[in-house]
Structure 1
Amino acid sequence: MKHMTRRSFIKGAGLTLAGATLVACSPTSSVPTSQATEVPASQATEVPAGGESGKTVLRFASWDSSSGQDVYNSITNEFNKTAPNIEVKVEFTPDSYDDKILTGLAGGNAPDVFMWWNYPGLIARKGILDLTEFAALPGDKGLDLNQYYPEVLAYAKIGNILVGTPNAFTPRAIFYNKKLFAEAGLPEPTSDWTLDEFTEIAQKLTKGEGADKVYGMFMSPGTYHLQGYIWSNGGDWISPDGTRASGFCDSPETIEVIKWASELVTKLGVAPTDDTGTTLGGATQMFINGKLAMMDNGRWPQTDLMKVENLDFGLVLHPINPNTKKRVTVLHTSAFCINPATKYKDEAWQFAKFIGGPVGNKLFGQAGWAVPALPAAVKELGWETDPIEKVWIDAIPYATVQPCFMRTTAWDKADSEFYNALQSVWLGQATPEEAMKKVAPIVDDILANAPKIS
């Protein structure tokens, strides 16, 4: 089975509905850490033909599909009102996006502005322009970073480097089917529920056999899917400085969560196996079809779920860990980055701060893609008082830990090894202790030989 990145996991979880554009997520391929080629400083971005006379033409790259054209048109049209001498051409690359950007950077023909999420690899090869000095410019030329949710801004910074302007994003939360809860005689979950209660509820919601079976929960063997639960229990995959896995992935705190999560599938049967989940169309399709009572996900499917006739669902925060009394979540984010070799740094900055600023974030939120990165935009949309949207806002303060992919240039390789190890547990081929004991030294070696971030 092919290892799943954060974005391909979401696709595999059933996000195939029209409109489930993944603005806050990673593209399908990961940054190759084996390459250490730096961006040629002498080569600048080529200017595409076709711009109106006298206008500076900027190329902007997105991994979204062309189905998002309307949203990007709205953003570029609004931008043109503030910068009539700049024309932005949007390039959509839903497949092999990373490869295209990396090839363009190496060849001196990358877009001027581009979406990205896996920053360390590009920083190591000097492929991202540090925007700290641009943000500090006086007045409207700069960007007030205090207007962002601090948890989201933290995901756009590696050390003292501002890698880009924050994009709309999503935390994770639990979708639940109100009808299935009522049929099981269960009250709807509340934000003070615990992991033990969550497990008990999943068992009570699971019913039937074979093709008629309804599962209480969906639990994938992906590192990012499990990350919040592991952090909540005091564990982690790798060290905070990104140099080793031993003592972290094989710690009692991490092992305990892997055991709990895997046994939802292998022992309790309240979550489907990967094969069963795939056969049934993935988590989102199972949820729509009434085959899944609870779904751990980001905001991506919400807009489409609201369009499904007779589907009455609610949303609740992740359960609290009973051992630590803590709740920790991850954010799915990206940023609008600038090619350091662009001829048009000032113009690129104007667009990056616009699309990653109040107007751009509001328009992404308005389209139902993700949560705006600025509280002011959220308030303007009225989300703070909406019973569903408010859950996403309430989840933000629980994103308190730097994700592993921001700690090392080799996370793609490490993640692949972890995924294979977790798969062996989900398939009943190894215990959590055996799998993590085996993979820890392998990841240690990967991290030790990874290029430094800076």
Structure 2
Amino acid sequence: MNNKWLSGLRIRKFTMLSLTLAMLISLLAACSGGSNESAEKRVLRIGVLYGGSDNEPYFRQQYTDMYEMMHPNIEFEIVGALNYDDQRFEQTDPSKPTTQPDPYEKMKEMLNGQNPVDVVVLDYNMLRRMTQDNLLQQLDPKVTQDKFDLSDYVPTVIEGIKAAGDGNLYALTPTFSSSALYYNKKLFADAGVAPPTDKMPWSEVLNLARQVAKGEGEDRKFGFTFSRWQSDGFNDTQVYSQALQLKMWDEKGEKMLVNSDQWEEVWKTVSSLYKEEVVPTQEFFNKMYEKQSQSEPGVNDPFYGDLFIKGKVAMTIGDYGYINELKRAQDNAAKMKDFEPVDWDVVTVPTHPNDPEVGGNIYLSQLMGINAKAQNDKDAWEFIKFTNGKEWAKLKSRSVYEMVARKEFLKPIGGLQYNMDAFTSLKPLPPTSTDADKLFREKPGIWEAQQPGYELFQEVLNGKKTPREALTEWETRGNAVLERLKTNPNGGEGEGVGGKPMPLD
């Protein structure tokens, strides 16, 4: 091949690459204000809960790399309150009780130390406590001064943030996650029942579930599940009680709170769903798995255990990312024997009458605030404006797992048509001012006080006890555990079955 031709090809490629880079640099300079920005090198320190060799590169890729390219005079330092690598590789003495660090206290140290961070990234549960402890700068004056447009922010996000700051803004987040009530249009049409609507109370949703539940044996069509995966009745009571913000024990972990009229109503409601087979029972799952194990070799079930996608459940609560699985099922339906894709839509998760504007499945996990003691609060605000601006939202709107906070760029996934407002119109549960995780750190054995609930709920299902009788016994047995924990916080004499639970808050 002619060497001159190769040389010319290389020159043309280099020229095109140079032109492309020049155009990119010009675009970035235009976005960042070009020569108007000071050339002075400045450091912007960002505090996150977990640092480490894996977490920092991910955070930079997600949030700071592009800003750093557009602002070459800004250098980011990512500071972790807790180092994940330390916790992962630390060798502990099994003969000694382990002490878990307090995440909130570690975050406070990062904000109040000799070299405090400028921006702090936190989750919703910490926001209320930080505002009450005067650790964050109020953002409302900055929003007003810069005329930063928040008019198209999703109500779920902006109202939820304000609720944690007594009506004021102390943080902003570019993304959030949410859940909705998915429903099967065909099952409702076949039953001649009107489908659910937005902000429908729990009582009405469960009444609909009873109306559409039909059939016998393996042909049974169920009305509802609390999640798309197999669960048990006791865990369902935990999901149902969250929106009511019911507690199992008091803030000090010294007294059980389950023997109450509200808890009795929760147990009555959930147990009746199982007894009436409105939700799938353990017996149904056992028979289904037994039949699947006997299926012909080589037959793959890509939706193992997901009854909604199989068309056997009329309604289920699922997160935004579930849409991807439903779309994959639709796109690949022809490849699967006897599979019919679900014709579905969504409405808001069920609400409780005491506050029909609030839902329990909304998460604001990447909130960004400015440290009250920030040494570089000007650049901190510019960075927060950038990550919460329209250009950033447009870029992030391509994600199929998280939602952007600006409504203008919220579009249905893959060209599908569904009720997007179902994910955006309810406010998150108001945050508490207490640290629910603190009890689990100070009293690792406190989960043992929950254990009798599994066994006792099963006795309710079997008709051996009424809900109130079971809750009364749970109170007694739970109080015995809590009393023992006063002298032995690690527990070790627990009873019952089931895994160690995570804090419900």
Instruction: Answer whether TM exceeds 0.5 for this pair.
Output: yes
1:189-268 alignment, distance < 5 Å: 189-191=196-198, 195-203=202-210, 204-205=212-213, 207-209=215-217, 214-219=221-226, 221=235, 225-227=239-241, 230=244, 236-237=245-246, 250-266=259-275, 268=277
Q: Which has the higher contact order (CA 8 A, sep 6+)?
A: 1
The match for 1:390 is: 421
Distance 1:63 1:286 in 2: 36
Distance 2:237 2:437 in 1: 11
Deviation, structure 1 residue 312: 2.8
Aligned residue identity for 2:407: V
Deviation, structure 1 residue 314: 1.1
The match for 1:131 is: 137
Distance 2:60 2:325 in 1: 19
SS at match of 2:308: helix
Residues 191 and 366 of structure 1: CA distance in aligned 2, closer, same or farther (over 3 Å):
same
SS at match of 1:136: helix
Contact map agreement 1:172 1:297 (CA 8 A) in 2: yes
Deviations 1:177-223 (A, max 9, x none): 3344455555543348664553344343354536x765432236267
Contact map agreement 1:318 1:327 (CA 8 A) in 2: no
Residues 352 and 390 of structure 1: CA distance in aligned 2, closer, same or farther (over 3 Å):
same
Distance 2:305 2:79 in 1: 28
Distance 1:249 1:353 in 2: 45
The match for 1:352 is: 384
Contact map agreement 1:361 1:372 (CA 8 A) in 2: yes
The runs of 5 or more residues in structure 1 that have no matched partner are 1-52, 231-235, 450-454
TM-score (norm 1): 0.59
- The structure 2 residue matched to 1:315, chosen from 346, 352, 355, is 346
Aligned residue identity for 2:359: T
Residues 362 and 131 of structure 1: CA distance in aligned 2, closer, same or farther (over 3 Å):
farther
* Matching of residue 378 in structure 1 with residue 407 in structure 2: yes
Aligned residue identity for 2:308: F
Residues 442 and 190 of structure 1: CA distance in aligned 2, closer, same or farther (over 3 Å):
same
Residues 423 and 147 of structure 1: CA distance in aligned 2, closer, same or farther (over 3 Å):
farther
Distance 1:91 1:291 in 2: 48
SS at match of 2:196: coil
- The structure 1 residue matched to 2:185, chosen from 157, 178, 182, is 178
Residues 320 and 159 of structure 1: CA distance in aligned 2, closer, same or farther (over 3 Å):
closer
Residues 229 and 381 of structure 1: CA distance in aligned 2, closer, same or farther (over 3 Å):
closer
Deviation, structure 1 residue 315: 0.7
* Matching of residue 292 in structure 1 with residue 313 in structure 2: yes
Deviation, structure 1 residue 290: 3.7
Aligned residue identity for 2:125: N
Contact map agreement 2:225 2:313 (CA 8 A) in 1: yes
Deviations 1:80-122 (A, max 9, x none): 4664423457899999899796696458799854342321796
Contact map agreement 2:188 2:194 (CA 8 A) in 1: yes
Deviations 1:348-382 (A, max 9, x none): 44333433454445544441333433xxx213445
Distance 1:225 1:163 in 2: 29
Residues 103 and 431 of structure 1: CA distance in aligned 2, closer, same or farther (over 3 Å):
same
The match for 1:336 is: 368
Deviation, structure 1 residue 154: 4.8
SS at match of 2:183: strand
Deviation, structure 1 residue 175: 0.6
SS at match of 1:285: coil
Aligned residue identity for 2:43: T
SS at match of 1:217: coil
Deviation, structure 1 residue 329: 1.8
* Matching of residue 86 in structure 1 with residue 74 in structure 2: yes
Residues 62 and 303 of structure 1: CA distance in aligned 2, closer, same or farther (over 3 Å):
farther
Contact map agreement 2:137 2:372 (CA 8 A) in 1: no
Deviation, structure 1 residue 171: 4.3
Deviation, structure 1 residue 320: 6.4
Deviations 1:260-286 (A, max 9, x none): 123323553524459959x89999834
Deviations 1:315-365 (A, max 9, x none): 1234566x7795642232232345678765543443334334544455444
The match for 1:11 is: none
Deviation, structure 1 residue 155: 3.5
The match for 2:171 is: 164
> Is the deviation greater in 339-348 or in 98-107?
98-107
Contact map agreement 1:172 1:298 (CA 8 A) in 2: yes
Q: Percent sequence identity over matched residues?
A: 21
Deviation, structure 1 residue 66: 8.2
Point out the structure with max Rg over C-alpha: 2
Contact map agreement 1:262 1:425 (CA 8 A) in 2: no
Contact map agreement 2:63 2:387 (CA 8 A) in 1: yes
Residues 209 and 248 of structure 1: CA distance in aligned 2, closer, same or farther (over 3 Å):
same
Contact map agreement 1:130 1:162 (CA 8 A) in 2: no
Residues 94 and 408 of structure 1: CA distance in aligned 2, closer, same or farther (over 3 Å):
same
Residues 168 and 442 of structure 1: CA distance in aligned 2, closer, same or farther (over 3 Å):
farther
1:26-45 alignment, distance < 5 Å: none
Contact map agreement 2:185 2:343 (CA 8 A) in 1: yes
